[in-house]
Amino acid sequence: MASVFKKLISSELGENNYNKYFFVCQKSLQNKVFDSKEIYNDIYENLKNKDRITIKKMQGRLNDAMFLAIRISKTYFFSFLFFIGAIFFLITKDLHPIITILSILLMIMLFLAKTYEFIVNKYCFIDAHIVLVYKTVLDKMLIPGDGNNNTGVNS
């Protein structure tokens, strides 16, 4: 399972470009200097010929991905509470032990999947850095009079 941001960048700019950006960020981390110019310039070159409507759609998908990443983080605690409550409920009910055990095992597997999703999206700071650069490029391209207005329409 990939992070929400990795899926977005891979689908918008391609898996090869995502991998290239990831390794640039990883190299920057090793050097302890986060320089985004190379990534910014590459993303800008990939998008500079796109029209304003396409850029706005890309920005909408970016906003949706950011909302989803935040929602995953915010709902995890409630999932944890529900998980604990459901286990307590099953234990206190007078059910057949096999049914109780199988139900708890199934809930544990589902909760582990939810935990994995949470961890992948919570600690994907390299992906978040790439997305911030991507957002900066999209915002820059939507500034009226920036020379990137290929449709002739200002918003």
| 14-71 tens-digit pLDDT | 999 999 999 998 888 888 777 789 999 999 999 999 999 999 999 999 999 999 999 9
Residue 143, pLDDT score:
85
Residue in the structure block whose two tokens are 């994907």: 124
Per-residue model confidence as pLDDT tens digits over 86-98:
999 999 998 899 9
83 pLDDT band, cuts 50/70/90, is very high
Which residues are within 8 A (CB) of 49 and not within 5 positions of it... i.e. 6 or more apart? 150
What is the reported pTM? 0.78
Where along the chain do its domains lie? 4-142
| Structure token pair of residue 49 | 């010929």
Q: Which pair of tokens denotes residue 141?
A: 């391209």
Q: Would you say how long the chain is, in residues?
A: 155
- pLDDT attached to residue 146: 52
